[in-house]
Amino acid sequence: MTSHTLILIRHAKAEAAAPTDHARRLSERGHTDAGEAGEWLSHQDVEPDSALVSDAARTSETWEDIAAAADWDLDAAEYVGDLYAAGPHRMLELVQETSEDIRVLAVVGHNPTISALAEFLDDGKQDEAASADVAAGFPTSGLAILEFEGKWEDLDEAGASVIGFHVGRG
């Protein structure tokens, strides 16, 4: 069996208004928080081989700040328009389509989808405190690290263990 890691990330704090919701950029606090989340991730011994990132401005900027702070490859990102309005089942389908040569995948998206997907996937068997944090919801700059054995295409309900949860606050 192959071990995989999934990092689910909610975008950082965004500005209150923009011409469209899709165009909302990160606030100053959002940039700071995303950077802190990236620094935390740099100490967790995970680095994505690939990332699926909503093409909204705030998620793109969150990815860029996290990846820069964690010293990850910014080019690992695929900007996916479908993630902007995706529900948890659509987001899971996108994850299940991941190539088996990808061992670590990051997904940067929006709530309530990120939170719902993390809860749906968590089997509650690894880190009880992190599972409880996931169940309590995902604030901005929140992220969960999940691990599972098997193929991406087979990942489903209660099929992964939350091994870490963090909220970036700079």
| Cβ neighbour number for residue 87 with a 10 Å cutoff | 12
The pTM for the full model equals 0.98
Q: pLDDT-based confidence at 156, cuts 50/70/90?
A: very high
Residue 113 has pLDDT above 80, yes or no: yes
- Give the structural domain span for 126: 3-167
Residue 1 has pLDDT above 80, yes or no: no
Q: Give me the number of domains the chain comprises.
A: 1
| Cβ neighbour number for residue 85 with a 10 Å cutoff | 12
**Alpha-helix residue ranges (DSSP H) falling in 43-170:** 57-70, 88-96, 113-121, 128-135
What's the mean pLDDT in 14-34? 97
Q: pLDDT-based confidence at 132, cuts 50/70/90?
A: very high
The pair phi, psi for residue 68, each rounded to 5°, is: -65, -45
Q: pLDDT-based confidence at 137, cuts 50/70/90?
A: confident
**Any idea what the CATH number is for the domain that residue 47 is in?**
3.40.50.1240
Residue 163 has pLDDT above 80, yes or no: yes
Residue-level pLDDT at 74: 82
Higher pLDDT, 74 or 77: 77
